[in-house]
A and B are shown apart, each in its own frame.
Chain A
Amino acid sequence: MPSILKRCEKREYRSSHKVHKRYHPYALVQASLPRHARHLGRGYGTATHIAEVMVARRRDDDPALEQLFHEHAERWKSETGHLSSAAKMVIHPSYLRIIGLGHEGLPLILRELRKRPDHWLIALNAITGEDPSPVGATFRDAVGAWIKWGESKGYC
């Protein structure tokens, strides 16, 4: 587990009378307080910490997640490679499972797309809601556009 996440488990947040373990309950409480009751200094520190955690979760490799991704990716490839229709390929349970990984799966999908181009554009679009390819792009162009998009967002 990334070090920032380890620190997160141990860290305790104190607001006036309560002790909040971990960041999200604290953030929820803070968000519900009226503005004048919030302490700017502590709020900033918490926000910074939350941002660090989010970045760490997004960028650090999680071996279990990576293994899960590769198992599903291999199964999907081997069982749908002969299909002429991407629409049929993407309803395979393993592909849907990969979409289900959400944003955490993005670095893995983009890395795989760069190494072995394949029909990951639908998953990327489903997860992000984005479509960075120009109108009229060929599949090859679209793969390149998604890799550039991933680089610009720090995913790969």
Chain B
Amino acid sequence: MPNRLSHLERLFPALAESGYLKSSESDPFYNCFAFAVHDTGQWWEKMAVRGYYWPLDRDDRVEDWVAALKLHNFTPTENRGLEPSFEKVCIYVNKDGSPEHVARQLESGKWTSKIGKHEDIEHATLSALEGQEYGEATITMKRKRYTGK
């Protein structure tokens, strides 16, 4: 596989099998949440130190992530499949119930993720990133896809 990212394959054993593509270089200035809402100018997290952005009082619970996504017009859905007129995101939750990651669906139906400070990748399935690190893809939300029309 060209542009193979061995450091990610080690962490996410299902990634190589499901297929993925690197779509950016590493960048510490934004995280998966920022990437999910198309705001790569900020690191989205509630921190006491300046330099971080989070629109709500808390960010450590799944409901906080859901609430923050609702501010960006996302609403919960059970349908993870491709609906061309909707943009979807999916929150990964670990076994302790803590939100760990959020991926965004592309128009192709594949998913795209910013892996912490590492690269952005396109991955064919949500299960590609499931496992010990991010837990399970649990909550899907959608909003009308912006087409520019």
Contact = CB atoms under 8 A, between A and B. Distances in A.
Interface in B43-72: 43, 45, 47-53, 60
Interface in A66-123: 78, 80-87, 117-119, 121-122
A139 B42 contact: yes
B76 interface: no
Taking chain B's interface residues, is the majority helix, strand, or loop, or is none over half, making it mixed? loop
A122 B49 contact: yes
A86 B118 contact: no
Given A84-B116, A136-B50, 16 more contacts: A81-B117, A82-B8, A82-B117, A83-B100, A84-B100, A117-B29, A118-B117, A121-B51, A122-B47, A131-B50, A134-B50, A135-B50, A138-B51, A139-B28, A140-B41, A143-B51
Interface in A119-156: 119, 121-122, 125, 131, 133-143, 145
7 contacts: A82-B117, A86-B43, A136-B50, A138-B29, A138-B42, A138-B43, A139-B43
Contacts of A122: 47, 49
A139 B51 contact: yes
Given A138-B41, A139-B43, A140-B41, A84 B32 contact: yes
B7 interface: yes
Interface residues of B, number: 31
B116 A82 contact: yes
Q: How large is the interface on A (under 10, 10 to 19, 20 to 34, 35 or more residues)?
A: 20 to 34
Contacts of B51: 121, 133, 137-139, 141-143, 145
A57 B31 CA distance: 37
Interface string A21-49: 00000000000000000000000000000
A86 B54 CA distance: 13
B49 A125 contact: yes
B33 interface: yes
